[in-house]
Structure 1
Amino acid sequence: MADGYVDVLRDKREAARKAAYETPLEELHPARASLFRDDAMWPVFARLRAESPIHYTPDSNYGAYWSITRYNDILAVDSNHQVFSSAKGITLTPKAAQGFRDPNAPSGANFIAMDPPRHDVQRKTVSPALSPMALSVMAPLIRERAGLILDSLPVGEEFDWVDLVSKELTTMTLATLFNFPFEERRKLTFWSDTMTSPPGHGPVADIAELRKVMGECFSYFTGLWNERVNAEPTGDLISMLAHGEETRHMSMADFHANVALLIIGGNDTTRNTISGSVLALNQNPDQYAKLRANPDLIPSMVSETIRWQTPLAHMARTATQDFEMGGKTIKEGDKVVMWYVSGNRDDTVIENPDAYIIDRPRPRQHMSFGFGIHRCVGNRLAELQLTIIWEEIMKRFPDIQVLAEPKRSYSIFVKGYEDMRVVLPTRL
């Protein structure tokens, strides 16, 4: 870890805590992208868990919403799709972005933004591509690519880990899942960043450019659909949707919505946890030493990193009826936000949750994958990629040094990194 890094972290955390506890409770709300960009949301969530775990924000740049911040309350909401519906969106949408969709274009929905029975049949269609058997076939290819990526890295020179490693491995895997033209795979990265970054804080400058870029994305995938629907069925995600008994007649709007879900789910989450693992081990050198001494801890370290990082900070639901919770009345039609990032730091459920401990007794006790019918369909693939990349890292590099605070994503949804400067001092 670079000199001065620990001091910077300490000062930032103290400033964030001071701001969180000086703000009147009724004005405290966590849906501010600047908090996540500055890694300053932790004391906000800590205070809400302690003082107002079912917390109402009457107005914000995302409108009104309830914050659910404790582990067991989040579990209760996530497991009750009858009362808390996904059909009206699964994230908080900024007021400024509500004009993104062309009002003359048909609206579509992906399966994560559906309730049963539509959810069940669409999810079932793509699930075989992410089954244990399918992943066992894919694992050697992921390992080969991880090795090639790591062998291409410079030694003794500063570089961006996010771009050269995290993005590259996950984009390669996503291109394989789609059977997407491999030489054009970075389009997937670009489209993912476009969908998850507010205009002006990512690849596009404004709503007009966002609409243009996403039109290009969906037009490209429409072409792939037309190719696959007129060919023999194969095992890629597009072919599965194009030939699935319950999905082959879906509207193009629904297909595009599922494309967006699969791009984000297959890209941002794993790549940001790969980057997060490097950062976590640098911030906790005792755990890095533990891992070097015992590489068999890699699977446990992976699960702990998924908890510690929580790559998707929240999911949202809409109440279908009035519902009493924690002494508060959530009204029919209210937006309810499950802050997974907060639940994963709830000390009433997880012992010493702010600590990064790679050999926890129950490392899989986390909510980063969600619960119930919407539990992440690609959770095994995420764990597989993380495990393989670290197995290959440990064969090659005794140390990865983070040189400065990373540049974090300006987003309340994707909790990730845009840039992380590192150096590899030596190669084994």
Structure 2
Amino acid sequence: MDTVMQNSGLLDIPLDRLDVSQHHLFRTGEVLPLFARLRREDPVHYCAQSQNGPYWSVTKHEDIMKVDTNPKVFSSSWENGGIVLDDAQAIPPVKDFVISAFIALDEPRHGVYRRAVQPIVSADSLRSLEDLVRTRTKKVLDSLPRDQVFNWVDLVSIELTTLLLATLFDVPVEDRHLLREWSDVTATLEGMDGFIGHENRIAKLTECLHYFMKLWNDRVNAPPKFDLVSMLAHDPNTRNMTPIDYLSQILVLIVGGNDTTRNTMSATINAINLFPDEYRKVREDRKLIPAMVDEIIRWQTPIPHMRRTALEDFQLRGKLIRKGDKVAMWYYSGNRDEEVFPDGDSVNVNRPNVSRQLSFGFGIHRCMGMNIAKLQLRILWEEMLDRFEFIEMLKPPVRTMSNQINGYTEVMVRIRG
């Protein structure tokens, strides 16, 4: 583990009062021993009172899979509350503003939107992106200061992910900071660092709508191009969306293309410093790079949970989940389930079953950008190893305070060699 319990008394809290959804637990790392306790003592756990109301925690790998692959019983729809424990992400408590992204829709509507943008992650698309991703990665790494301390999050993780996002949307690269800003505003809610209030949040997202409506108007009557806006504008099933519906799809694509990759890039530096022997294995055998990418994604788990809402009563491990109940699938816990990933708090590049990690979800909502993320991370590893002997982390990283995004705001490093 890269953190320790700050308050051992948390482990003594009675189970009926245990609330693992508190944002600060993710910043400090205190949530991990609590998840381990739930896996041992109460793997399907009911919390009657939390900042987001009552909810169930599903913490074992097997049980998470049962929920994630059963969309007929467990709904993702914003109409039932959406995909995170805080309902306000989909339905803010001000104005008539609903974020109905396709990740927060059930079938058949979910598939309509997903199919419209699916070509962006095709094998041909990935092949066409590889040279561009490599060129940009080389440029970013070559520009890093030597013999100076800098924040890897700002100069590498954010820079590389926003550059690619700008390409996928075909927006000017000089506007990439806007994509990062809209991503953060979308995913930052009450109780998290950086929350700007619901009214200000809606104002910022309205700015995003105006920006992307201009792109839509420019492209809807132009010949189709291979970018996400054009795909939505020209697909017959999405070209007549309402503006708020369009914004919803844009936001999920921005957040999905930003957070997993950005925070795994930062986790990479944390991991190689905490587990230098594993780093040496990869330096000595570069064929291990894809396995290391998967292992760090598992270890980090950039999206700690996804929420579902029960559409009917359902028995899980002898517990009765009632119709209408919130259910949190804690991927962060399932990725450390001792029965599936022994010594899961450690990074092990030789882990034989790392492909079973849950970070991208399963079933109909499995992350469509998974292979783009892995492409970016693989190339980052290849180019790092070509240039640097080691990237030394000089102090513990500063994490985000969020149960939705398991990320970093600061990873202070110095390049060696």
When the two structures are superposed, what TM-score results if normalisation uses the length of structure 2? 0.96
Distance 1:253 1:397, change over 3 A: same
Pairs within 5 Å for 1:33-48: 33-48=23-38
Determine if contact 2:310/2:325 at 8 Å carries over to the other structure. Answer: yes
Tell me the amino acid that sits aligned with residue 91 of structure 1. Answer: V
Q: Is contact 1:194–1:202 with CA below 8 Å preserved after alignment?
A: no
1:182-197 matches, cutoff 5 A: 182-197=173-188
State how 1:336-351 maps to structure 2 within 5 Å: 336-351=327-342
2:56 counterpart SS class: strand
1:380 and 2:404 correspond: no
**Which segment drifts farther, 414-423 or 217-226?**
217-226
- Counterpart CA distance in 2 for 1:63 and 1:365 is 31
For this pair of structures, how many residues does the alignment match? 414
The reply on whether 1:362 has 2:353 as its aligned counterpart is yes
- The equivalent position to 1:90 in structure 2, one of 70, 80, 83, is 83
SS of the equivalent of 1:141 reads helix
Paired residues for 1:117-196 under 5 Å: 117-196=108-187
Shift of 1:101: 5.4
CA distance in 2: counterparts of 1:240 and 1:394, whole angstroms: 36
- Match in the other structure for 2:396: 405
1:47 alignment partner AA: R
Q: Work out whether 1:103 is the aligned partner of 2:95.
A: yes
What is the alpha-carbon root mean square deviation over aligned residues? 1.7
Do the aligned partners of residues 108 and 417 (structure 1) sit closer, same or farther apart at CA in structure 2, a change above 3 Å counting?
A: closer
Structure 1 position 102, deviation (Å): 4.1
Please tell me whether the aligned partners of residues 101 and 211 of structure 1 are also in contact (alpha carbons under 8 angstroms).
no
Once the 2 structures are TM-superposed, how far is the Cα of residue 336 of structure 1 from its aligned partner? Answer: 0.6
Confirm or deny that 1:225 pairs with 2:216.
yes
Aligned to 1:198: 189
Q: Are 1:56 and 2:49 counterparts?
A: no
Cα deviation digits, residues 300-354 of structure 1 (max 9, x gap): 1001011001000000011000111111111111111100000000011223222
Give the secondary-structure state (helix, strand or coil) at the position aligned to 1:13: coil
Q: Shift of the alpha carbon at 1:180?
A: 1.3
What's the offset of the Cα at 1:264?
Answer: 0.5
Q: Give 2:295's match in structure 1, choosing from 286, 304, 311.
A: 304
Letter in 2 for 1:90: I
| Cα deviation 1:270-316 (Å, max 9, x = unaligned) | 01001101101111111112122222211110010110010000000
Structure 1: state its 5+ residue gaps. 1-5
CA distance in 2: counterparts of 1:199 and 1:344, whole angstroms: 27
The one-letter code sitting in structure 2 at the alignment partner of 1:279 is N
> How far 1:199 moved relative to its partner?
5.3
The alignment partner of 2:298 has SS state of helix
1:211, distance to aligned residue in structure 2 (A): 2.0
Residue 157 of structure 1 deviates from its aligned partner by 0.4
For the residues of structure 2 that align with 1:131 and 1:318, how far apart are their CA atoms? 31
1:250-399 to structure 2, matched below 5 A, reads 250-399=241-390
1:425 is displaced (CA, Å) by 2.2
The amino acid of 1:349's aligned partner reads V
Question: What is the deviation of 1:110?
Answer: 1.4
The Cα of 1:129 is off from its aligned counterpart by 0.7
Partner of 1:3: none
The residue identity in structure 2 corresponding to 1:362 is N
User: Is the 2:91–2:99 contact (alpha carbons within 8 Å) kept by the matching residues of 1?
Assistant: no
Gaps of 5+ in 2: none
